[in-house]
Chains A and B, each alone.
Chain A
Amino acid sequence: MTGRPDDLVALAVQVADRGEPGEQVEAYVLRGTELTARVSAGEVEQLSSATSEGVGLRVVRDRRIGFAWAGSLDPAIVAETLADARDNASFATPDEHAGLAQPDGVEAVELDLWRDDVAATATADKVALAAEVERRVLADPGIRGLRFAEYQDGRTEVAVATSTGLVTSRRSTTAYLSCLAMAGEGDGTTTGSGLSFGRAVADLDADRVVGDAVTHATRMQGAAKPASATVTVVLDPWVTASVLAVVASLCNGEAVLKGRSLFGSRLGEEVASPLLTLVDDPTNPSASGASAYDAEGLATRPTPLIEGGVLRSFLYDTRWGRAAGRPSTASATRSFKGTPGISARAVAPSPGTLSHEEVLAAVGEGLYVQSVAGLHSGVDRISGDFSVGCEGLMIRGGTLAEPVKECTIASTLLRMLQGVVHVGADLEWATGSCARVTLAIDGLSLGGT
């Protein structure tokens, strides 16, 4: 592969080879470069550039795991970090499932996630993109100001090597353009955000960022608290992505084994509407979370989570796969500052046939949810209780009507999954681990006056 981070691979291999007899060693080495440009009143308000690098080392000895990390690739510090990891291992309780990933024969997909234009584009041109967004948002008569207009990009290179024979590396670039617009005055202030994601600077869509931010902020003007009712909700594609991330987290094999997921005993059962099929596929290059390898050095692969409403499989890393008697699904994710955890990378539902507008028309009467707040605190992954703050617009006669705010939608996750009545055809990828798509769910409690 061209552009392999050879120096990182060499360092990872060197550390992994330093294992003592009876010991397994894993080295995760990362180097990242980031640029952030924030614009205000047409001027650069903030320009930061940074390179960070570090190692995360795991030692497994007598079935005990120890971990240590350092924000440095300095050989002396890396050597001390390995000694720390070894010492930490001696205090862990022996765990029969402890161990590093082993080569499992799955071939990695060639993913080209690196675009040279991220490094090659002049900083001034990047700043100009954010300035253009600010200028165009302010040009809308309904807009009062912006909280920010921002360009951001990053380049990440990772190498993983283990004493069990894995040596892998990957690299990717990302670019973002985003803003938060404000409309109205005082108590009547409403906000709207816009964001565009790409692998390259050239992928960024300023029209989209401006259009979304302006529309989202201005159409909420005059919003009031709605009356409490039981409603069908249509989730904005952004909102769907964050709700799907919660659903994907219920498929975390560690949470399942620890009794922390309501999906725990439901494998093979109908947990959702037959309209819902969810697959986690990090080999899809369109997904922002695409990656050829996981954080333990295994090749990624598609994993069906829900098929036609039936719960099909959970996600595992090596350790929790062993505990469950299942192979790893190559779902380990991490930074160098922590041990691997299990996470979905690229979850997408099978799209339906109706466009966004057709979903609204098919629903007829209900609530269109533009944004939710408190998804983290308002969802209990064990009991399934779901209660979040939201704002949006009522749907009347199949189209968007008056805006509403300061209300909640509540249900349980299982009732919501079973209540899916439409999946839109408008599937697309942005940031995060889940695709965006319009989703209609019936039977939610709308809490207002």
Chain B
Amino acid sequence: MIDEQVLARVLGTALRGGGEFAEVFAEDRRSSSARLEDGKIEELTSGRERGAGVRVVTGPTTGYAHTADLSEAGLLAAAEVASAAARVSGATSRVVDLDRRTPQGSQVVEERPEDVAKARKVELLLAADEAARHGRPAVAQVSTSTSDNRRRTLIANSDGLLVEDDVTRTRFGVQCVAQGDTGLQTGHRSVGASVGFELFDRWDVEQLAAEAADTAIRKLAARPAPAGVVPVVLAAGGGGVLFHEACGHGLEADLVEKDTSVFRGRIGTQVASSLVTLIDDATVAGEWGTFAVDDEGAPAQRTVLIQDGVLQDYMWDLVRARRAGRPSTGNGRRETYQHLPMVRMTNTFLAPNPGTTLDDLIGEVEHGVFCKTLGGGQVNTATGDFVFGMTEAFLIEGGRVTEPLRAANLIGNGPQALLDIEGLADDFDMGWPGTCGKDGQGVPVGMGIPSLRVGGLTVGGTAR
């Protein structure tokens, strides 16, 4: 993307103001998407973007500037601006020798989405639309979409690192609206992976569409969710977002450093039920949050955050790890070259528990909620309080799943929920592909859980 000599000169300029660390992050991104609504292909879009950001770190101060101009002149101008933000007196220049490294675990794409005829993508959407409607007169609306992007990155820094990555991601989604006497209800399914068009060899879009339609229809008969504290069983995969939001964020070193995490100072202590092992792993081939190197050039890594309920480590990016005198865990990520990297999760999941089944978890509940999928959520990392929408939930009565419930929020406290996990099952699923938002930046993340039961969470329904 950029010549090695040019990179060395840009880093030299960036350090001229006396910076301790300088970095060039360059990115070239191509994306395409297609969307069908109401039986019509509404639009195909394609986009491209490339540029570079220059970061200079001096003591506690970080200067950053970015440019879409990848010429030497454009990069040098960005380096000047970034260096001015972090200038110290009496500085001398430094020469940077770059050492090109080849990352482990680089992605192998079987079928490049950019080489797939647009007509084939259109056919997939039409087939899913037809499958959702077939034999289901209650289905009033169907929308289906597919998107893919290829992101090539290059990172060079004043430690001499020079490394590149190339990640392709493909996803598919379907949403159905069913109409009945009780009004309208929605159902959706979404799948995505860090793979090429071979995503569609693994997933049958027609079956996903049928499931989404059936979910919407089932919810037409739903009754109001209860209001108050009840035991909640979360289905494998569908509830992973809760632990991402309510626990994962609190284990990000930047929040811990700022004293805005409830997990600060708790390494080596019991922070969860002894059934809980929580892992962040960017190396799982093909998962949504997978890559070969992070956006600071650190190799992808598997980090055990909580083992048998005991807190082991936080997630780290480069700058905070340097300050703490330890290695990065490969969790430095950014949305685009226009953003500074910060600590982000990759694929975060709870490990399954052999010997217990989903039926065991449900069978022990007299009155509670079985939540099959959670929607979006929010967490205050300083307090650990969270709230999530249940997009597909059922009542549990006398140890059996009975009626579907209307949409309602689930609220609780992350650290408390971790302690209140009463059971985990032997099943496991990574759930839907997520986009994690933090400080205005969205990055792709994977989130997985086995089926599990929390002793008590507050359900924000209207039924008494």
Decide whether A and B are members of one complex.
yes
Binding site for B on A (CB under 8 A): 40-41, 43-54, 65-72, 77, 81, 84, 87-89, 91-93, 95, 123, 144-145, 147-148, 182, 186-187, 189-191, 225, 228, 258-260, 262, 337-339, 373-374, 376-378, 380, 382-385, 387-389, 391, 405-411, 445, 447-449
Is A48 a contact of B340 with CB atoms below 8 Å?
yes
* A47 and B64 form a contact (CB under 8 A): yes
* Complex contacts, B377 vs chain A, CB 8 Å: 374, 377
Pick the interface stretch among B2-10, B354-362, B408-416, B446-454.
B408-416
B65/A48 in contact, CB under 8 A: yes
Known: A374-B411, A376-B378. 12 other contacts (CB 8 A): A43-B59, A68-B45, A72-B49, A148-B258, A225-B458, A258-B38, A374-B378, A377-B374, A378-B389, A389-B411, A407-B411, A408-B227
9 contacts between A and B (CB under 8 A): A40-B258, A45-B61, A65-B42, A66-B43, A93-B39, A123-B85, A144-B259, A387-B389, A407-B411
B345-385 vs A: 1/0 string, CB under 8 Å? 00000000000000000000000000000111110101101
B49 pairs with A71, CB closer than 8 A = yes
Q: Which residues of A contact B47 (CB under 8 A)?
A: 68-71, 337
Report Cα–Cα, A66/B378, bound state, in Å. Answer: 35
Most B CB within 10 A of own CB, among A89, A190, A387: A387
Residues of chain B within 8 A (CB-CB) of A377 are: 374-378, 387-389, 391, 409
Contact B383 A374 (CB under 8 A): no
Q: At the interface, yes or no: B273 with Cβ under 8 Å from chain A?
A: no
Distance, CA A409 to CA B411, complexed state (A)? 11
Smallest beta-carbon distance B80→chain A, Å: 11
Residues of A within 8 A of B412 (CB): 406
Q: Complex: how many Å from CA A111 to CA B60?
A: 41
Contacting B227 at CB < 8 Å: which of A123, A380, A383, A410?
A: A410
- Distance in angstroms between the alpha carbons of A411 and B409 in the assembled complex: 12
Residues of A near B375 (CB, < 8 A) are: 377
- With A382-B177, A406-B411 already in contact, the answer to whether A92 and B184 are too (CB < 8 A) is no
B153 proximal to A (CB < 8 A): no
Closest residue of B by beta carbon distance from A258: B141
- With both chains docked as a complex, state the minimum distance between the C-beta of B377 and any C-beta of chain A, in angstroms: 6
Q: Separation in Å of the A67 CB from the closest CB of chain B?
A: 4
Q: Which of B50, B383, B459 has the most CB of A within 10 A?
A: B383
B2-59 at interface with A (beta carbon < 8 Å): 34, 37-51, 59
Chain B contacts to A: CB under 8 angstroms: 34, 37-51, 59-68, 81, 85-86, 118-119, 122, 140-141, 177, 179, 183-186, 225, 227-229, 255, 258-260, 262, 338, 340, 374-378, 380, 382-383, 385-389, 391, 406-409, 411-413, 415, 458-462, 464
Contact A88 B46 (CB under 8 A): yes
Choose among B63, B382, B415, B461 the residue that contacts A447 (Cβ–Cβ < 8 A).
B461
Chain B interface helix/strand/loop/mixed: strand
Q: Which residue of A lies closest to B66 (CB)?
A: A50
Complex interface: chain B residues within 8 A of A411 (CB): 462
Q: Name the 4 nearest CB pairs between A and B, nearest first.
A: A377-B389, A408-B460, A389-B387, A71-B49
Q: Is A182 a contact partner of B34 (Cβ separation < 8 A)?
A: no
- Tell me whether B45 and A338 are in contact (CB under 8 A): yes
In the bound complex, do residue B407 and residue A380 qualify as a contact, i.e. CB atoms below 8 Å apart? Answer: yes
Contact status A88-B258, CB under 8 Å: no
A46 in contact with B62 (CB, 8 Å) = yes
Query: Across the interface, do A67 and B43 meet the contact criterion of CB distance under 8 Å?
Result: yes
Contact of B141 among A54, A67, A260, A405 (CB under 8 A): A260
Q: Cβ of A406: which chain B residues have Cβ within 8 Å of it?
A: 385, 411-413, 458
A338 to chain B, nearest CB (A): 7
Bound form: Cα–Cα A407–B409 in Å: 10
User: B228 contacts which of A387, A409, A447 (Cβ < 8 Å)?
Assistant: A447
A70 to B380, CA, bound (A): 36
A187 and B414 CA atoms in complex are apart in Å by 11
Bound together, the chains give a CA A189 to CA B65 distance in angstroms of 35
Distance A257 CA – B411 CA, assembled complex (angstroms): 33
The 8 Å CB contact of B387, one of A89, A374, A448, is: A374
State A228–B382 Cα separation when bound (angstroms).
25
**Min CB–CB distance A26 → chain B (angstroms):** 13
Q: Which residues of B contact A339 (CB under 8 A)?
A: 43, 45
Q: Tell me whether B62 and A92 are in contact (CB under 8 A).
A: no
Q: How far is the CA of A54 from the CA of B51 in the complex (A)?
A: 12
Closest to B50 in A: A71
Contacting pair B385 A53 (CB below 8 A): no
Q: Which residue of A lies closest to B44 (CB)?
A: A88
* Chain A residues, CB < 8 A from B225: 387
Partner of B68, one of A72, A144, A145, A391: A72
For the complex, give the distance between the alpha carbons of A72 and B382 in Å: 39
Task: Please name the residue on chain B nearest to A380 by beta carbon.
Answer: B407
Q: A415 — nearest CB in chain B belongs to which residue?
A: B462
Complex Cα spacing A125 to B260, Å:
27
* A387 and B461 contacting across the interface, CB-CB below 8 Å: yes
| Nearest CB on B from A220, distance (A) | 9
A68 to B30, CA, bound (A): 11
A180 to chain B, nearest CB (A): 8
Contact status A47-B413, CB under 8 Å: no
